[in-house]
């Protein structure tokens, strides 16, 4: 139940509003903002595909799992950082200008979600024909040291390669929610 609530919040955050105007500073119809919006929608669709497979709302297909995981991997890390250059931030775009003021924190989040997505893509490369127990999050796995409001100080970081695929997806969504809560503004 908690996973579905997290998934729902993260999917809404990733998808954003149906339409919103690009940054005035960057000019109407800015291709950087349009590309960023398209990328976010691709990531939301990929995450939804994987989540629905684990929730049983979509049939598990190894090829679809691999394609979705590859999309997340390709759109995060350095690619995500590159989608937020100065001049494409601020109202009426949903990207807050605070990204530039806290650039190291933003980039650290983008790199972390990239590491998680890369680990998920590596697992998807070896995807079995059906979801196995070792792909599942499991009841006893910690939630990365904290709640959705943030990690506990000093929480140990687990090697993403050692985590089950479902847990990696959950952590990716958690990072997306954290980033959006700090760096994404609501638009009309």
Q: Which of 85, 97, 107 is nearest to 35 (CA)?
A: 85
Q: Is residue 66 part of a domain?
A: yes
- Whether residue 54 is predicted with pLDDT greater than 50 in this model: the reply is yes
Report residue 153 as tokens. Answer: 């100080």
- What pLDDT does residue 90 have? 82
Helices (H), 16-152: 31-55, 62-75, 78-82, 98-101, 103-125
Q: How many residues does the chain have?
A: 188
CATH number at residue 142: 1.20.120.10
- What pLDDT does residue 16 have? 46
Average pLDDT, the chain: 81
Q: Is residue 40 part of a domain?
A: yes
Kindly tell me the burial class for residue 148, based on how many C-beta atoms sit within 10 Å of its own C-beta (0-12, 13-18, 19 or more). Answer: middle
Cβ within 8 Å of residue 179, ≥6 positions away: 106, 109, 110, 113
Instruction: Check if the beta carbon of residue 77 is closer than 8 Å to that of residue 113.
Output: yes
Domain of 122?
2-183
pLDDT band (50, 70, 90) for residue 92: low
Q: What pTM did the predictor assign?
A: 0.79
Q: Is residue 156 part of a domain?
A: yes
Q: Is residue 188 part of a domain?
A: no
Q: Is residue 65 part of a domain?
A: yes
Count up the domains in the chain and report the number.
Answer: 1
**Which has more pLDDT, 158 or 162?**
162
């Amino acid at each position: 139940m908690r996973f579905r609530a997290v998934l729902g919040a993260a999917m809404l955050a990733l998808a954003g509003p149906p339409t919103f105007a690009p940054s005035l500073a960057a000019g109407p119809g800015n291709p950087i903002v349009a590309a960023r919006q398209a990328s976010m929608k691709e990531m939301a669709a990929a995450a939804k595909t994987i989540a629905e497979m684990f929730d049983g709302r979509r049939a598990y297909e190894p090829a679809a799992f691999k394609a979705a995981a590859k999309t997340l991997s390709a759109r995060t890390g350095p690619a995500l950082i590159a989608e937020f250059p100065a001049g494409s931030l601020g109202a009426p775009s949903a990207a807050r200008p605070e990204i530039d003021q806290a650039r190291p924190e933003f980039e650290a989040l983008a790199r972390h979600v990239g590491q998680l997505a890369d680990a998920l893509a590596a697992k998807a490369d070896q995807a079995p024909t059906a979801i196995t127990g070792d792909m599942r999050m499991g009841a006893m796995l910690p939630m990365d040291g904290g709640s959705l409001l943030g990690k506990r100080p000093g929480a140990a970081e687990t090697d993403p390669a050692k985590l089950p695929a479902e847990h990696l997806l959950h952590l990716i969504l958690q990072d997306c929610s954290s980033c959006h809560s700090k760096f994404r503004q609501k638009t009309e």
